[in-house]
């Protein structure tokens, strides 16, 4: 895989995680204060962590760790969304929509993680 392909895959993974984060923020706007507000904050934190980790993965050493952090954030958000659904804070339709977005982000992340090692990439390329 050349450097251009790698940048495109990184960007595709980031965009998928970012789209999921935007949708998660929108879906949690209506959560009530108190427990709903706390849960909304946790969902938002986990989704933002995933996007931030993908940015970090593209700019420096520790890419494998950053990809693991991104995956962890997406999976953590999955639990919180499930909990919100079971508590009646999130409608079934919104939950399914978010699940679709989240699955897309996880697929892109997994595809990025399956790429050949750093020896197969142009080491002179920078970031995205």
Looking at residue 5, what is its pLDDT?
82
Residue with tokens 């495109």: 8
| Residue 61 exposed, middle or buried by CB count within 10 Å (0-12, 13-18, 19+) | exposed
Looking at residue 76, what is its pLDDT?
94
Looking at residue 68, what is its pLDDT?
85
Looking at residue 126, what is its pLDDT?
36
Looking at residue 67, what is its pLDDT?
84
Looking at residue 59, what is its pLDDT?
64
Low-confidence ranges of the chain (pLDDT < 50): 116-128
Looking at CATH, the fold of the domain delimited by 3-114 is given as de novo design (two linked rop proteins) (1.20.1440)
Looking at residue 11, what is its pLDDT?
86
């Amino acid at each position: 895989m050349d450097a251009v392909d790698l940048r495109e895959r990184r960007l595709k993974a980031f965009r998928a995680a970012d789209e999921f984060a935007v949708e998660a923020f929108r879906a949690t706007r209506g959560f009530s204060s108190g427990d709903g507000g706390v849960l909304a904050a946790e969902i938002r934190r986990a989704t933002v962590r995933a996007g931030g980790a993908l940015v970090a993965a593209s700019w420096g050493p520790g890419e494998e760790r950053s990809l693991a952090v991104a995956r962890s954030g997406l999976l953590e958000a999955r639990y919180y969304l499930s909990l919100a659904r079971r508590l009646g804070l999130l409608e079934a339709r919104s939950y399914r929509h978010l699940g679709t977005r989240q699955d897309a982000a996880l697929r892109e992340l997994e595809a990025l993680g399956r790429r050949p090692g750093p020896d197969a990439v142009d080491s002179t390329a920078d970031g995205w």
